[in-house]
Amino acid sequence: MEITIAQALYFLPTIFLVLVIYNLLTKSSEAKRRRTNLPPSPPALPFIGHLLLLKQPVHRALQNLSNKYGPIYSLKLGVRNAIVVSSPSLAEECLNRNDIVFANRPNNFLGWKIIGYNYKTMGASPYGPHWRNLRRLSTVELLSAARLNSFLPVRRDEVKRLVNGLVSEVSGRPGFGHVAMRSRLVDLSMNVMMRMVAGKRYFGTEAGEGRCGEGERFKELIREVFELSATSNPVDFLPAMRWVDFSGLEKRMWEAKGKIDGFFQGLIDERRNDDGAKDATERKTMIDTLLSLQESEPETYSDEIIKGHVMVSFNFKISLTFFSPRTDSSAATIEWAMSLLLNHPKILNKARAEIDNIVGNNRLVDESDYVKLPYLQGIINETLRLYPPAPTLVPHQSSEDCTVGGYSVKKGTMLIVNAWAIHRDPAIWEDPTRFWPERYEGAEVEPYKFIPFGMGRRSCPGTGLANRVVGMTLGALIQCFDWKRTNEALLDMLEGQGLTMPKAEPLEALCKPRDCIDNAFTVM
């Protein structure tokens, strides 16, 4: 239907009035901001504030705002106040000097409440005695160097299975064979975690009789949770809309929570009833450790707390944030690294030469070799710099008033640290978008310039495990195969949607087993 000039003129006074009110509100907000010494802020819409500015990919949208408003600025996300920082000095000020102030997580997020066992998991729990106990448990009992070393045979076995699977897929073909890498890398990472947590394999073609179907069901559960957490939930920022259950989101979350809870309870009950496994120290899983603690402190280590720890182990803690879903960070990092190497064959050849020289051709590269392979370390560091597992880290929240960068920050303000922007800042990094592992040779990077796993009290406790899995897996793929792209075009390095910044296009490549592979290890 066409609108006449007369009709358009009829609406002009209303439009003019709305614009005047909006202008007055904007000026009033700006004046208030200056009086209270708040960080600079973009113009905000009534009611929703700056929510519409958080476009995917969020880290790039936040960096565009930083280019205009500076390394610290404030946002109004519905009823939530937030600040965004994108410089090492400000990150250090927030997460070192004001570490305790920003040790909390944002509260009242529906996903964290429902699927996160009412904020009882380590990722979602507020800072306090409960969180400190969970953190101590993770760093001392579950993810200590000694405990990780005890699971080294598991990681070795999974890397060997990955290599064997690739050999089997391309064997018998002349020259190079085509392989899809993402599903294989995810299966490896999930199997490592499942064997550490519950003592059994679930994923891949060799998961074991009766387990393949169970593993697929678990994958479906994971996929369902990711989809739910990817769905925008206005209630997290606009609680007045709580009476509206958008697309049945809350109901679906409760249903998914029930399924996950049942699956994890089954794992706990299985280990609880397996007395033989609990008596074998070398087979002691994370669930076994938690069950032994439950015997002496049943209230502190209830089944619900144990299930929360299992959930954190499978990386759900960040998938429940408001931005987007989490994919497995170790698998994503290896996929990015392989993609970068395929686009830079000279770097790939240099890394292979280092491994051949240090490790040789008579055995598979091992975790103990990693400290002697500085170029491989540089490749992984450079991958984490360009494609950090959590480009905006996990949001923090201030527990009291404080000062950041000379500006006032009120209690209850959400803190977003744009690690992606810090990692690509030309004032900090020479040629910041270039993949250049040599930049780490003989140089030590200051801690707050390189923060792929966060920093401070709430930094990722699984960093040691992630480095071990990524280092040995990537080293084995470089050592055992010749690689090239499926065609002459460079691989698309576009980022997909997701808090862990997954690669938009799953990695597919051509590979050929090297002559040394039979000497490296006996094919299982």
Annotated binding site for heme: 460
Rg (CA), the chain: 25
DSSP state of 415: E
> Parallel, antiparallel, or unpaired: how do β-strands 402-404 and 407-409 relate?
antiparallel
What are the CA-CA distances from residue 308 to residues 12, 118, 249, 265, 393 (Å)? Answer: 56, 10, 21, 11, 21
Sign of the CA dihedral running 6, 7, 12, 14: positive
Terminal C-alpha separation, the chain: 71
* 91, 458 Cβ separation under 8 angstroms: no
* 386, 89 Cβ separation under 8 angstroms: no
* 389, 354 Cβ separation under 8 angstroms: no
Sign of the CA dihedral running 322, 323, 329, 331: positive
How many other C-beta atoms can be found within 10 angstroms of the C-beta atom of residue 66? 19
CA distance 324 to 345: 33
CA distance 253 to 24: 41
* 48, 39 Cβ separation under 8 angstroms: no
* 79, 238 Cβ separation under 8 angstroms: yes
Could you give phi then psi for residue 375, rounded to 5 degrees? -70, -40
Alpha carbon 302 to its chain's center: 27
Binding residues: 460
How many other C-beta atoms can be found within 10 angstroms of the C-beta atom of residue 180? 12
Burial string for 49-64 (b: 16+ CB within 10 Å, else e) reads bbbebbeebbbeebbe
Alpha carbon 300 to its chain's center: 28
281 token code pair: 């120290």
236 token code pair: 């997290």
Q: In a 10 Å sphere around its CB, with 0-12 CB exposed, 13-18 middle and 19+ buried, how is residue 190 labelled?
A: buried
Element spanning 510, H or E: strand 508-513
Q: Alpha-carbon dihedral of residues 62, 66, 69, 70, nearest 10 degrees? A: 150
Alpha carbon 400 to its chain's center: 27
Burial string for 270-305 (b: 16+ CB within 10 Å, else e) reads ebeebeebbeeeeebbbbbbbbebbeeeeeebebeb
